[in-house]
Structure 1
Amino acid sequence: MATFPLLLPLIMVCMASAARPPRHRPPCRTVQMSVVVCSDLSLTSAPFNLPPGVQTLDLSHNQVQNLTLETLAYRTDLRHLNLNSNKILFIQPGLFENMTDLKVLDLAGNHLNVFALSKNKIGTLTAVETLDLSSNGLYTGMSDFLIADSPSLLELSLNSNSITKIAQNTFRGALSLRKVSLHNNVILEIEDGAFDSLDHLTELDLSKNSITCITDFNLSRLKVLNLNQNSIEIFQSTRSTDLYDLLFLDLSENKLARFPLLPANNTIRHLDLSRNQLQSINMTDMPEMKTHVVLNHLRYLDLSYNQLKDTPQSFFHTMTSLEVLNVSNNCIDSFSIDDKNLLPAVTIINLNYNSLQRLSFGEATLQSLRQLLLQGNDLSTLEQETFKTFPSLNLLQLQENNLKVCPSDTKLSPSDPNHIHRPDCVSFSFIPSLKSLYLSQNNLNSLPLRAFAGTRLSLLDLSLNPGLEMHPDSLSGLEHTLIHLFLRENNISKLNTDISSLTSLKLVDLSTNQLTSLPTLTSESSIETLNLQNNSLVTLEHSTMVALERSLKTLYVGSNPLNCCSNLGFLYLVQHSAVVVPDIETVTCLLQEDSEPINIKNVNREMCHRPKKASYIFGIVVIVLFTMITLGLLVKYCKSRKRKRIRRFSV
């Protein structure tokens, strides 16, 4: 009886809970009558009131534990069943045998490792073509119980499990497989012949595992092979003359020290060897293993983030279809293409972040080249006409080098024998195809007259060249083409170059300089974005603000010592126009020299018309002093009169 008072509150709570009506769950959503979505409703089974004709049932992110015919509301006519992210640990054997229409089955994110431990098979997956078993905690051999009888299975995902070995019999129950994904497992070993029985296999994803070597690669019908993020030190194909259908091979982020030994007769189009330990593009040091591999179908080659010191021209002899070559982030000190028959189709060459000191191209070479990326090298001296040999070049990245810009000789054409040759600079004039040029961080100290004449530049980046002196007409010739101009962090106190004539200019970046005044602009200005952050601007000239008002859409002007009352035009622009100031929270101004900065949003015209507090105080002090002096004089005068009267009537 003593415990009854303690139990009474608990009993009352239970009774109240029983009396309370059950919580109403939101209904499933029906989409186009054939699709029912019951995702994330804390369900343990499908509702029994499913509409007729349902073909797709989404029960993902629920609480289903036992998968039975009752769980599926006795529906056997489904085509797509999504049970992703439940708690399934039991499947009724034979459940899918009578589901002759079921094509897609998603069982990812469950606990099927518990079911596999019972060593029971789920039975025939009669019509299932796509099966997802990802993230189920499956170990080696466990998938055998789930796909033991899958005659129609075409795509299988076993991603993010704990499989360490692919055995010969792993896929013997699914011989129709075309695509297998084993991404993010712990695979250390692949038994010989593990995939040989899969005659239709075209895509294999083994990325993010622990594979150390691939020897005698013989899957000639495979088209896509992903071995990214393993520990592969050797990749070697069989020495066969059979034609391999492989189109895509990803060996990035491995430990390859040498170029892989690819099938001699191949159709590879995409080859990614980035982020390895390649020191040489030789395939092997063993003479008996040396095989001449033709790569005339190759279109994309990525050798970035390796340790390559050179790329001999002979390496490119068979790459007649190559379009993209990426050898960035290596240790290459020279790059040359002298033969016009080398790389005839290449459109992009990326040599960023190497140690380039020498760069040369023969006459009529690389006629299809559109983008040349040379950022972050040691280039200081180049042939003056280096970039004029490419008729299709439209983008040139030269940031972080040490190049000087040659002036343009306006009187002589480049083909004239009297054209001045200066070995200490590079010419960027008369390259009609060039549209984007990046010259930031080149230690440029001057930009000569008409430096880019004869081009159609739409983007020019001259940023991060402290002390850059620009000739007033350095941008002449770009009046109708230049759209983006970057001049940030150049320590510019005044922009000498006239940009008002650049009638197509849309974006100007002058941030982080020492500007004390704005560049002169006219009403014909088309600037839409202007960045003036981090300068020394006190006043934004009214005439310039008026000129910008017609076209300006975005203005950055934070971190400037603006004066509130001398920028009423700018204030009006911010408060009464459609101009957006993204950094408005950092835009402050001073009402007086010794006052605290206030945000421009809080300023109004009345503040600038009010008498200043100091004037009030000064006026009051003057009046008080004047009054005191006047009273003092009056008192003194009265006293002197009184003394005189007393003396006059004295006896």
Structure 2
Amino acid sequence: MDCRGLSFYSVPTNLPERIRKLDLSYNFIQNLTIASMSRLHNLEDLDLHHNHLESIDPGALNSLTRLHSLNLASNRLHKCPASRRGVFDGTRRLETLSLANNNLDGEAVLCYLSNVTSLVHLDLSRNAIVLLFSGMFDGIPKLSELDLSNNFIDEIQSGTLDSLKDLRVLNLAENAIRCISSFDLHQLHSLNLSSNIIEFFLTKEAGERHQLISLDLSRNNLRNFPVLTPFQMVQHVNLSGNGIADLVPLSDATEDDDEGWSWYEATTDLDLPSAIENSFSRLSNVRHLDLSSNLLAAIPWSYFSKMSRLSDLLLSGNCLQNLDGHEGPRRSRRP
């Protein structure tokens, strides 16, 4: 049933009980009560995005035992802290939930998601999350896809995502993340970190094989090719819109670069120049590599010799002056 934009201020009480899909978006609904939802026990898909929703009464959703998709995006769910905890506990079949654009912080998210064990797809984009902390997602252990884009995230505490053993797709685009110095999500297939302020992307090799296939680091502050040594299965790498001036590690390093690299070497226990060179030799499965809109002046073709499956190499918007494979003089940071 399509009830979009009908100027409703509450959920109509005369809706047919047989409804399976109900669209109430673009209305003025402020509250979900037990009385307004009790007759809709056949609902499988409920869309309430772009309302004025501020609170959900305890137990209001308990009658929706067949509900598998719920869209609450673009509401005002940050306004009533007392109505947060446990509101989704009765929706035992809920797999897809959007809480996007509700001005929620991390503590509010923790309350709302305290026990939604059936959840598979979660959209938390366009909120006010600054910190991802340990325990934040422990109530949604089956999650496969998580969208945290367009928040204010500048820190991810160690172990925050450890409980999400089935997580395959993670979107952290448009935040304020400065570096990735440890990456333990071995099961992840797709990672979007575009439009942050990342200067370094580093991680140690581990015994467990990483499953990452798609990595988006576009529109960041990278000055060197990232350390991708552990990601031997990656096929799509987007590094466009950074400040990468040379693919040869530290060939044009400044004093500030030296200090930064020394700090990250101490933090990650990596020999960074060797790690970067090894990245190229391990990327044999890469099919699509986007290096457009960087500061490359020359292309050392030898670095791509191990990428036997490479079919798309994008280099537009650089400062290319040399395409003959000459790498130019190199300066070692170490004496």
Q: TM-score normalised by the shorter chain: which range applies?
A: 0.7 to 0.9
Query: For the residues of structure 2 that align with 1:98 and 1:71, how far apart are their CA atoms?
Result: 11
Alignment match of 2:290 (pick from 302, 305, 319)? 302
Question: How far did residue 48 of structure 1 move?
Answer: 3.1
Alignment match of 1:194 (pick from 160, 175, 179)? 160
Contact 2:56 2:84 in 1 (8 A): no
Alignment match of 2:315 (pick from 315, 327, 339)? 327
| 2:192 pairs with 1:226 | yes
| 2:20 pairs with 1:44 | no
Residue identity in the other structure for 1:312: P
Contact 1:159 1:182 in 2 (8 A): yes
Residues 62-83 of structure 1 show CA distances to partners (whole Å, capped at 9, x for unaligned) of: 1111111323362122100101
The structure whose RCO (Cα within 8 Å, separation 6+) is larger is 2
Q: Which residue of 2 aligns with 1:183?
A: 149
- SS at 2:191's partner residue? strand
Question: How far did residue 330 of structure 1 move?
Answer: 1.2
Pairs aligned (count): 303
- SS at 1:70's partner residue? helix
Q: Do the aligned partners of residues 337 and 174 (structure 1) sit closer, same or farther apart at CA in structure 2, a change above 3 Å counting?
A: same
Query: For the residues of structure 2 that align with 1:245 and 1:107, how far apart are their CA atoms?
Result: 32
Question: How far did residue 52 of structure 1 move?
Answer: 4.2
Q: Which residue of 2 aligns with 1:288?
A: 271
Residues 216-267 of structure 1 show CA distances to partners (whole Å, capped at 9, x for unaligned) of: 1121110010001000001012222532111110000000111111143521
Question: How far did residue 45 of structure 1 move?
Answer: 2.6
Contact 1:178 1:202 in 2 (8 A): yes
- SS at 1:210's partner residue? coil
Contact 2:142 2:166 in 1 (8 A): yes
Residue identity in the other structure for 2:147: S
Q: Do the aligned partners of residues 136 and 205 (structure 1) sit closer, same or farther apart at CA in structure 2, a change above 3 Å counting?
A: same
Contact 2:37 2:63 in 1 (8 A): no
- SS at 1:216's partner residue? coil
Residue identity in the other structure for 1:234: F
Query: For the residues of structure 1 that align with 2:88 and 2:63, how far apart are their CA atoms?
Result: 11
Give the gaps of 5 or more residues in structure 2: 251-260, 327-335
Q: Do the aligned partners of residues 40 and 283 (structure 1) sit closer, same or farther apart at CA in structure 2, a change above 3 Å counting?
A: farther
| 2:266 pairs with 1:278 | no
| 2:57 pairs with 1:69 | no
Q: Do the aligned partners of residues 288 and 120 (structure 1) sit closer, same or farther apart at CA in structure 2, a change above 3 Å counting?
A: closer
Question: How far did residue 177 of structure 1 move?
Answer: 0.4
Residues 499-536 of structure 1 show CA distances to partners (whole Å, capped at 9, x for unaligned) of: xxxxxxxxxxxxxxxxxxxxxxxxxxxxxxxxxxxxxx
Alignment match of 2:299 (pick from 311, 336, 342)? 311
- SS at 1:249's partner residue? strand
Q: Do the aligned partners of residues 98 and 320 (structure 1) sit closer, same or farther apart at CA in structure 2, a change above 3 Å counting?
A: same
| 2:226 pairs with 1:260 | yes
Matches within 5 A, 1:81-160: 81-116=46-81, 120-124=85-89, 125-160=91-126
Residue identity in the other structure for 1:236: L
| 2:217 pairs with 1:217 | no
Contact 2:17 2:41 in 1 (8 A): no
Residues 75-107 of structure 1 show CA distances to partners (whole Å, capped at 9, x for unaligned) of: 122100101011111101122334221000001
Contact 1:45 1:72 in 2 (8 A): no
Residue identity in the other structure for 2:27: N
- SS at 1:333's partner residue? coil
Matches within 5 A, 1:161-180: 161-180=127-146
- SS at 2:110's partner residue? helix
The alignment-based identity, stated in percent, is: 35
Contact 2:240 2:293 in 1 (8 A): yes
Query: For the residues of structure 1 that align with 2:101 and 2:316, how far apart are their CA atoms?
Result: 36
Q: Which residue of 2 aligns with 1:239?
A: 205
Question: How far did residue 47 of structure 1 move?
Answer: 2.8
Query: For the residues of structure 2 that align with 1:234 and 1:300, how far apart are their CA atoms?
Result: 21
Contact 1:98 1:126 in 2 (8 A): no
Q: Which residue of 2 aligns with 1:60?
A: 25
- SS at 2:78's partner residue? helix
Query: For the residues of structure 1 that align with 2:22 and 2:181, how far apart are their CA atoms?
Result: 44
Residues 425-466 of structure 1 show CA distances to partners (whole Å, capped at 9, x for unaligned) of: xxxxxxxxxxxxxxxxxxxxxxxxxxxxxxxxxxxxxxxxxx
Output the TM-score relative to the length of structure 1.
0.45
Matches within 5 A, 1:585-600: none
Residues 128-153 of structure 1 show CA distances to partners (whole Å, capped at 9, x for unaligned) of: 10000001011121111111110100
Matches within 5 A, 1:470-509: none
Q: Do the aligned partners of residues 335 and 242 (structure 1) sit closer, same or farther apart at CA in structure 2, a change above 3 Å counting?
A: farther
The structure number with the bigger radius of gyration is 1
Query: For the residues of structure 2 that align with 1:241 and 1:310, how far apart are their CA atoms?
Result: 36
- SS at 2:271's partner residue? helix
- SS at 1:335's partner residue? coil
- SS at 2:181's partner residue? strand
Query: For the residues of structure 1 that align with 2:299 and 2:181, how far apart are their CA atoms?
Result: 26
Contact 1:260 1:283 in 2 (8 A): no
Residue identity in the other structure for 1:310: A
Q: Which runs of 4+ in 1 moved over 3 A?
A: 117-121, 282-287
Q: Do the aligned partners of residues 65 and 75 (structure 1) sit closer, same or farther apart at CA in structure 2, a change above 3 Å counting?
A: same
Output the TM-score relative to the length of structure 2.
0.86
Residue identity in the other structure for 1:260: P
- SS at 2:106's partner residue? coil
Contact 1:304 1:326 in 2 (8 A): yes
Residues 366-421 of structure 1 show CA distances to partners (whole Å, capped at 9, x for unaligned) of: xxxxxxxxxxxxxxxxxxxxxxxxxxxxxxxxxxxxxxxxxxxxxxxxxxxxxxxx
Query: For the residues of structure 2 that align with 1:121 and 1:98, how far apart are their CA atoms?
Result: 14
Residue identity in the other structure for 1:37: D
Matches within 5 A, 1:496-575: none
Please give the root-mean-square deviation of Cα atoms over the aligned residues, in Å: 1.9
Query: For the residues of structure 2 that align with 1:75 and 1:101, how far apart are their CA atoms?
Result: 10
- SS at 1:74's partner residue? coil
Query: For the residues of structure 2 that align with 1:311 and 1:211, how far apart are their CA atoms?
Result: 29
